[in-house]
Structure 1
């Protein structure tokens, strides 16, 4: 069996070294530290000792997690010369304790804003399946790294879909846990209310193992739940509009498999709650309003800053909104989250396409502002529901697609383990 060190050298570091002049997936590499961690894992294995399921696993982390001794840039030039972090982020510490081999920090959209996955400062990672296409964001490098095999697991953040969108477009699994299940300590924030930290990986089991470590739970073997009797709700309506034909066909194929396995599948309308949430956040999204507070100091100067206009524009507009707008949105959100929880009590999971579209070309996004806005809206439309209504969700690759898109399963707040067990069975059913 190949040692961790050999796997690291031959399958990962060699591949990264081959593109040394054009590295856009990683913003920082920890080559020597990773070699040392790999050697330590191999030594434990020889001694018959293990730190758990992540021991010796090659893991990358999004460029918004603190690593002691270096600035956390969060995809921005503005933070390049920030004060170095004094300690590792909580999740980085937990990964190290679990024996993970942290290979590097992955690229991301600036300040974790926008869903396209482009970064005008550090370059845009090419999609893992077709490098001419967008990676999806904001955890762009995370999705590509797992998709291309330079990480076995990558830890990202998800405020409106930032784990599940790149998972969908790069053909990997992405898990957004219930918010606050994994500590945000040492993660550069976008929205303290909506931010969640979760893994991208090749399998549901890998996601479950990483989730257990980052949530400081005892990792246990993931036991799939047979789908016979599992209740799946299909939120037909606005979340299915403008879906590409290939995505719709793949979704129906997945649904057919679930029905054959005995799952109970029924429509469950949530359009009224979605309309209420749209109305409550019409003047400003919660992410933009809370992000404007994070960045209030530089926004207040009005001076030119080296920030992507797709990021600075929405933040600047949100910064102008009066406080009552935010307070009312938050109060209404709490009521709507409670109403959604009640609505979902009749099902185990909701099922829908993660993204209604596959990845467009990077060039088309740069050349056509109107198309970019439309695609960004579609990429976020389905995924942001889980953040807005305080739910947990996972994206699984749908089989048989030329360009990847995901099947998203959504469950109630705190039902993370149940969701992962259902997802593991759906994954098994769909096959490789």
Structure 2
């Protein structure tokens, strides 16, 4: 394993070698990271530990405040913004836990897409196939963990922005229940839907980072018996247009769970999904709230935006307030109805994304294909945000391209979901 400093230097050397074409990281903190690594090594040598994150090499998405610098959120709109007065709360907690923060990772401008494209800083190539998209909006986060330039990366998830890059790059991505992890000092996409979550190699690493960020004490995940585990499969509208590779990998994972003793049953949530689609038909919640967040510069700095991002936000800028308020009240009722539906099972299971990572180039030149692909890629993951659930994407082993199995749990049942995920992960590895 070596020292933390040795692992850090190995990563920094890799990044130096490719500095001319770097697209995964937007900023590196070499000096601060070396100091943190040396401190972690000194503690380890003295037999002292701050916990499981002590000495872990962690990257953070470009929307987290770091004291003394502008938070740009993957944009050039904010490059001249005032510097942050202090670290984001989650960054502060990670530092206190001994994390070695190596740098900020690339992202979709203002986190407004699930594909991962960024015209300002370049698009990171998928870690498995650089000709394919990384997934977004936490694009650099997913690639960094998968390629080994971070051990853990912290992203945000508003419609799937942690789970999509995890699925596309073959790693684990965890979305906690919204508001469990503080968003203070995190540039928002949607006040109602944003969650802060980790990407890592294992469910346990995600659980450790999540606990630290939520202000809890990290603990080993207890084994959750798969025998008798009630796994609900929401067949119907979430399974249309699914790539054959994804469908076959998903069915193989269900068969494995069944053989391990799980009780796999169909759960019909289509009526709830249809009603949520109707409720949000005037505009997406994220676009409405983003229109308020960006109101001061949406027109004044229009030429600095990615046109695909600005266009979607601008469409919602004139939506009447009563429409938005009614939308949110109806959403609350649907959240309660979904929670009632999920009481009969332990977890929902479905493909994290309906397709594997598509090639990048066609999406760069075809706006209609971009929009269609973005909607399809986010379709399954956004259920977790709209209905205020907790969710995780696990890589299904043995596939020619990465495929994510998504498990979703009830609001507030984050620990249970992580324990189930760790047991599924173990079954996958057997």
Give the TM-score taking structure 1 as reference length.
0.98
Aligned to 1:55: 54
Partner SS for 1:27: strand
Partner SS for 1:410: strand
Judge conservation of contact 2:302–2:310 (CA < 8 Å) in 1.
Answer: no
Aligned to 1:70: 69
Kindly state the Cα deviation for residue 293 of structure 1 after the two structures are TM-superposed: 0.6
Q: Deviations over 1:236-268 (max 9, x none)?
A: 000000111111110011100110111111000
Partner SS for 1:332: helix
Judge conservation of contact 2:346–2:409 (CA < 8 Å) in 1.
Answer: yes
Aligned to 1:150: 149
Match of 1:317 among 292, 315, 318: 315
Q: Deviations over 1:339-389 (max 9, x none)?
A: 000000010100000001011111011122222222111110000000000
Q: How many residues align?
A: 430
| Cα distance in structure 1, aligned partners of 2:311 and 2:367 | 14
Aligned to 1:2: 2
Alignment of 1:191-210 (within 5 A): 191-210=190-209
Q: Kindly indicate whether residue 284 of structure 2 is the aligned counterpart of residue 252 of structure 1.
A: no
| Cα distance in structure 2, aligned partners of 1:398 and 1:359 | 14
Aligned to 2:414: 416
Partner SS for 2:315: helix
Q: Kindly indicate whether residue 245 of structure 2 is the aligned counterpart of residue 262 of structure 1.
A: no
Partner SS for 2:90: helix
Judge conservation of contact 1:54–1:210 (CA < 8 Å) in 2.
Answer: yes
| Cα distance in structure 2, aligned partners of 1:281 and 1:391 | 17
Kindly state the Cα deviation for residue 222 of structure 1 after the two structures are TM-superposed: 1.1
Alignment of 1:4-403 (within 5 A): 4-10=4-10, 12-299=11-298, 301=300, 304-403=302-401
| Cα distance in structure 2, aligned partners of 1:100 and 1:116 | 28
Judge conservation of contact 1:60–1:102 (CA < 8 Å) in 2.
Answer: yes
Judge conservation of contact 1:354–1:406 (CA < 8 Å) in 2.
Answer: yes
Give the TM-score taking structure 2 as reference length.
0.99
Q: Deviations over 1:77-99 (max 9, x none)?
A: 01111000000000000000000
Partner SS for 1:33: helix
Partner SS for 2:343: helix
Unaligned runs of 5+ in 1: none
| Cα distance in structure 2, aligned partners of 1:6 and 1:147 | 19
Structure 1 runs of 4+ with >6 Å offset? none
| Cα distance in structure 2, aligned partners of 1:206 and 1:236 | 30
Judge conservation of contact 1:153–1:201 (CA < 8 Å) in 2.
Answer: yes
Partner SS for 2:27: strand
| Cα distance in structure 2, aligned partners of 1:110 and 1:62 | 11
Q: Deviations over 1:54-101 (max 9, x none)?
A: 000000000000000000000010111100000000000000000000
| Cα distance in structure 2, aligned partners of 1:114 and 1:373 | 9
Q: Deviations over 1:178-236 (max 9, x none)?
A: 00000000000011110000000000000000000000101111112010011000000
| Cα distance in structure 1, aligned partners of 2:388 and 2:169 | 25
Kindly state the Cα deviation for residue 309 of structure 1 after the two structures are TM-superposed: 1.2
| Cα distance in structure 2, aligned partners of 1:385 and 1:179 | 13
Judge conservation of contact 2:394–2:404 (CA < 8 Å) in 1.
Answer: yes
Judge conservation of contact 1:224–1:423 (CA < 8 Å) in 2.
Answer: no
Judge conservation of contact 1:236–1:269 (CA < 8 Å) in 2.
Answer: yes
| Cα distance in structure 1, aligned partners of 2:419 and 2:220 | 10
Partner SS for 2:208: helix
Judge conservation of contact 1:114–1:310 (CA < 8 Å) in 2.
Answer: no
Judge conservation of contact 2:179–2:195 (CA < 8 Å) in 1.
Answer: yes
